[in-house]
A = this chain, B = another copy of it.
């Protein structure tokens, strides 16, 4: 864990290094991924079988090796304990309610020149959802990806999820049933992303691929952007907690560890104006780690990437937060709205002492797929819009063309695009 003090000499340089610190994939991943993508593009299902046997120790031979039947997803759902089923249903209902409000409005109007203008939103035809297997097999991520797609009106939802050594995750299958997923393919990694983008004999191509994954998955999405739409390039998770001295250090320690336990490359940062709280949180992280079943991952993240920054005043916090542009920000202070108004770059902000970040991972309603690695400067969490696209439209009659056409002719001629001018002139007998 790194401890910084904003009043110490060298703070600016140390903070700068922190902002520039990269915890993501390197060139080797890019080269490996490019080879896998090319192979799946050309050899299709044979390449998928090859990589799935090699990376997941799961041979794709029978139909059931390739794909989980819908009946099995329903069975997994039916087999849930009542508590867990109720929890999944509450999560789904709240996620749906929040995302339904994101549905965009169409426009269609005629302006003063008699020009009819508008835009129309439609869902994509098919979406592919990446759901990690192994360490990060999260039914909550399935809901967070599938429900916005369903709300958007996407007709075909294809999930890909690796099943290492052939093991399905029943919770993921149950969530797939609850969310109305159409296909569940037992593949993962860059090869699964390539299959969704280019299609194979078995798997029809999709239009958009969303969902979290490891460095190979993120790199495959980046490389295939343009062939398909993607939600974002996702990296390891992050939390920034901004806390005054009035907090329970145990609460803050638990919040920091909730990100740290995701991934050894995850990052948890605390900014506080209280030296004592800083010390107490550091101590409580140790106490919590001693009890935590995920301590191995969480400790690696905290040791390597954890940061505590003590500032002279919390007035310094928004400027630091805006440089970090973190995925999650908790504002554990008395007047979180006043500070939120000064924070420009963040994936999601958790206001007040009773809003721990994990509540947003499951049941609050907003999406938990959020920009990482300072990308909140320019990108947003997953939303219904990621599964839709907008077509603009224009309609003129002869009078409207006569009103605004001459200006277009002047600009077309000035740009040397004479056929552009001609298409208007010929309609106006000019």
| Contact pick for A359, options B119, B404, B415, CB 8 Å | B404
Whether the pair B418, A293 counts as a contact (CB closer than 8 A) is: yes
A148 and B395 alpha carbons, distance in the complex (Å): 22
Q: Which residues of B contact A389 (CB under 8 A)?
A: 345, 371, 376-380
Whether the pair A251, B427 counts as a contact (CB closer than 8 A) is: yes
A394: min CB distance to chain B, Å: 5
Whether the pair B250, A426 counts as a contact (CB closer than 8 A) is: yes
Given contact pairs A292-B418, A292-B419, A394-B355, A365 touches B115 in the complex (Cβ within 8 A)? yes
A236 and B348 alpha carbons, distance in the complex (Å): 37
A329: min CB distance to chain B, Å: 9
A359: min CB distance to chain B, Å: 5
Q: Which residues of B contact A346 (CB under 8 A)?
A: 391
Mask, A380-404, CB within 8 Å of B = 1, is 1101010001111111111011001
A377 and B227 alpha carbons, distance in the complex (Å): 10
Q: Which residues of B contact A406 (CB under 8 A)?
A: 87
The reply on A66 being an interface residue by CB < 8 A is no
A97 and B348 alpha carbons, distance in the complex (Å): 31
Interface size of A as a range: 35 or more
Given contact pairs A363-B411, A376-B391, A381-B392, A417 touches B84 in the complex (Cβ within 8 A)? no
Q: Which of A340-368 contact B (CB under 8 A)?
A: 340, 343-367
Q: Which residues of B contact A360 (CB under 8 A)?
A: 392, 394
The reply on A319 being an interface residue by CB < 8 A is no
Q: Which residues of B contact A416 (CB under 8 A)?
A: 293-294
The reply on A408 being an interface residue by CB < 8 A is yes
Q: Which residues of B contact A260 (CB under 8 A)?
A: 419
Q: Which of A400-430 contact B (CB under 8 A)?
A: 400-401, 404-408, 410-412, 414-424, 426-427
The reply on A159 being an interface residue by CB < 8 A is no
The reply on A7 being an interface residue by CB < 8 A is no
Q: Which residues of B contact A116 (CB under 8 A)?
A: 351
A376: min CB distance to chain B, Å: 7
Whether the pair A364, B404 counts as a contact (CB closer than 8 A) is: yes
Q: Which residues of B contact A350 (CB under 8 A)?
A: 393-395
Given contact pairs A233-B225, A288-B419, A394 touches B364 in the complex (Cβ within 8 A)? yes
Given contact pairs A378-B228, A378-B389, A424-B356, A361 touches B408 in the complex (Cβ within 8 A)? yes
Whether the pair B139, A414 counts as a contact (CB closer than 8 A) is: yes
Q: Which residues of B contact A367 (CB under 8 A)?
A: 392
Whether the pair B349, A410 counts as a contact (CB closer than 8 A) is: no
Q: Which residues of B contact A229 (CB under 8 A)?
A: 375, 378-379
The reply on A65 being an interface residue by CB < 8 A is no
A347: min CB distance to chain B, Å: 7
A93: min CB distance to chain B, Å: 10
The reply on A5 being an interface residue by CB < 8 A is no
Given contact pairs A294-B418, A344-B125, A364-B117, A423 touches B140 in the complex (Cβ within 8 A)? no
Whether the pair A107, B101 counts as a contact (CB closer than 8 A) is: yes
Q: Which residues of B contact A122 (CB under 8 A)?
A: 344
A residues apposed to B, CB below 8 Å: 83-84, 86-88, 90-91, 94, 97-98, 101, 107, 111, 115-117, 119, 122, 124-125, 137-140, 171, 207-208, 222, 225-226, 228-229, 232-233, 248, 250-251, 254-255, 257-258, 260-262, 288, 292-294, 298, 336, 340, 343-367, 370-371, 373, 375-381, 383, 385, 389-398, 400-401, 404-408, 410-412, 414-424, 426-427
| 18 A–B contacts from the bound complex (CB under 8 Å) | A84-B410, A125-B344, A226-B373, A229-B375, A254-B426, A261-B419, A292-B419, A292-B422, A294-B416, A298-B419, A345-B389, A349-B394, A354-B400, A361-B420, A363-B407, A366-B393, A380-B389, A380-B391
Give 8 nearest A-B pairs by CB, closest first. Answer: A229-B378, A226-B233, A351-B395, A366-B392, A358-B420, A87-B407, A257-B419, A356-B423
